[in-house]
Structure 1
Amino acid sequence: MYDFIVNPNARSGLGGRIWKELEQLLKEQKAEYRVHFTKYQRHASRIAEEITTDGEEHTIVVLGGDGTVNEVLNGITELSKVTMGYIPMGSSNDFARYFKMAAEPAECLTRILHPKKIVDMNVGIMSYKNGEKSRRYAVSTGIGFDAAVCHQAVISKMKVFLNKIHLGKLTYLGIALSRMIALRPGKMRVRLDDGEWIEYDRAYFATAMNHPFEGGGFKFCPDADPCDDILNVTVISGLPKWKVLCLLPTAFKGWHIRFRGIDTYTCKKVEIDSEQALPVHTDGEPVFLQRKMTAALELDKIRLIVG
């Protein structure tokens, strides 16, 4: 039995239209399935919780964007008892990019129904307010500039327009340029695996990544592997804004890490402490302004159909 969690509004309504086509394929192949449509923000979390609360094994297929994947992960009661398939329909699709998932929804569905490869994928967890609150993430979590871009993208009219002309991934680049002009870098410190604090005077952002990509294809952590039990951290600091703007396009290839002012680390856990309250995100989903956050990996992994 497949449980499909479908965001019909993904990519400005394309999700709903694609589902109608895929459902016909499911019927032709006589697959056993149930479909659950999301109707409001974080509804996917509630649906995933209702599906998995029985403690049994389940196969959940997500049709939507990175945000829908994030919501589903935050609703699953036991990660180790879930096999997940993904049909990417978002603007950025960073989650699908590392695993080179098929761009055509029908091909994705075929690979899910007849899987040739399933991997055990790490799931990140970000905590804040001294550990009182937490959210899982699949791709990345961060504080500062990258989170500010994600926050703006959620309400961006530009995103809706670019989605309609199939250029949605450019949303993040356009917003990044405008946010960089308005941003004021500040003091930040980072601690890896309970070690010594590393201080930064003019930090733009710090990100803890499970996947290499975020923000529509920026390869901020080129060496990140979502199955290696390791977090990859990137901090950008101490650079003039013009240089950051010049380096931004190089991040699509991961070349930015060759330059001074870009620090990369690996760890099991990272604590980030900012002098000023800054935007925070998990997989592009906004969290209210915070000064402190911690990122780590869940003990359990989720099974992911990748080919």
Structure 2
Amino acid sequence: MEIAVLLNPSAGRGRHAGAAKAALARLEAAASIRVLSAGTREEAEKAGKAAVADGVGALVALGGDGTVHLALQAVAGTSTPLGIVPVGTGNDMATCFGLPTDPVAAAGVLAEALKANRHKTFDLARLTTAQGETRWFGAVLAAGFDAIVNERGNSMRWPKGPRRYDIAIVVELARLRPRAYTAVVDGKRLGFEAVLLAIGNCTSYGGGMKICPDADPHDGLLDVVWAEPISRATLMRIKPRVYAGTHIDHPKVRQLRVESIELDAEGIVCYADGERIAPLPITVTAARDALRLLA
């Protein structure tokens, strides 16, 4: 069997290069490997789709959640299974789908699954933009404070690295204000104000922040979690509780479980699996068993 490997050498800021090389060797012992070369994210996504169209036995994402997100665009809704070898910073999707977070151990699981022709199915979220473009995500979509911080950080040319996101948090905290959202949830129209909003197929984003602690990628539903208008001080008190998922018990935090949601708010660009997607409005629908995962 030939499998294609979508490789991101800069994942995890390159700190796991040795483990990535060992994981690749482990896969080479189980199957013929085609490493997909790409200079940009657009090229990587195109290469993944071409490999699936070409009939590879599986597509393996060797990288972080961003690499997995690109691979999902190729395999979602197809019979081609996905393999994940996590070498990123957060690796939320590997955790969500029950895979080892150690790259070599994860490669071992994939190798055994390939030999046994074994896979598991998981739900995904299907997103449609206002322009009609379809994107898939596996973990969480952010469309509130965290998305605004990401957008601010990505627009900054200085400083380099994660420090700019620390600065972006400070800047956006100073500008914190509730946003007016409109939503159509399973056919019912809602209007509300919020400072933080997430839509989860899985529980966590940002390296273990359990923003949607009850999300289950097997139930055919999405979890929508938002924080009603709160002060800066309250937001900063709630945020650390997200790692344990206990923020959901705060009286200003709301939760819905939905099959589909149309969401709109002025001036917000949403991010899914940590990747920039599009400005609102969007429509997100739960897609049951849309992913075949080597596990």
Same fold per superposition (TM over 0.5): yes
1:167 matched residue in structure 2 = none
1:287 matched residue in structure 2 = 277
How much has 1:97 moved relative to structure 2? Answer: 2.0
How much has 1:253 moved relative to structure 2? Answer: 0.5
How much has 1:155 moved relative to structure 2? Answer: 6.5
The CA deviation string for residues 244-270 of structure 1, in whole angstroms up to 9 with x for no partner, is 110000011010111111110111101
How much has 1:30 moved relative to structure 2? Answer: 5.6
Is residue 124 of structure 1 aligned with residue 125 of structure 2?
A: yes
Count of matched residue pairs: 290
Matched residues in 2 for 1:119 and 1:172: separation? 36
1:96 matched residue in structure 2 = 94
**What secondary structure sits across from 1:11 in the alignment?**
helix
Matched residues in 1 for 2:171 and 2:222: separation? 29
How much has 1:33 moved relative to structure 2? Answer: 1.6
Matched residues in 2 for 1:64 and 1:224: separation? 24
The CA deviation string for residues 220-276 of structure 1, in whole angstroms up to 9 with x for no partner, is 1111111221111111112222111100000110101111111101111011121x2
Matched residues in 1 for 2:186 and 2:249: separation? 24
- In structure 1, the gaps of 5 or more residues are 163-170
How much has 1:40 moved relative to structure 2? Answer: 0.9
Aligned amino acid, residue 274 of structure 2: G
User: TM-score if structure 1 supplies the norm length?
Assistant: 0.84
1:185 matched residue in structure 2 = 178
2:224 matched residue in structure 1 = 233
How much has 1:190 moved relative to structure 2? Answer: 2.5
How much has 1:281 moved relative to structure 2? Answer: 1.2
Matched residues in 1 for 2:243 and 2:24: separation? 35
Pairs within 5 Å for 1:5-44: 5-14=6-15, 16-27=17-28, 29=29, 31-44=31-44
Percent sequence identity over aligned pairs: 23
- In structure 2, the gaps of 5 or more residues are none
Relative to structure 1, the CA distance from residue 204 to residue 15 in structure 2 (aligned partners, 3 Å threshold; closer, same or farther) is same
1:82 matched residue in structure 2 = 80
User: TM-score if structure 2 supplies the norm length?
Assistant: 0.87
1:165 matched residue in structure 2 = none
Contact 2:220–2:287 (CA<8 Å) still a contact in 1?
A: no
Relative to structure 1, the CA distance from residue 185 to residue 132 in structure 2 (aligned partners, 3 Å threshold; closer, same or farther) is same
**What secondary structure sits across from 1:136 in the alignment?**
strand
How much has 1:185 moved relative to structure 2? Answer: 1.8
Match of 2:192 among 200, 204, 215: 200
**What secondary structure sits across from 1:42 in the alignment?**
helix
Root-mean-square deviation over aligned CA pairs: 2.6
1:146 matched residue in structure 2 = 146
Matched residues in 1 for 2:167 and 2:80: separation? 37
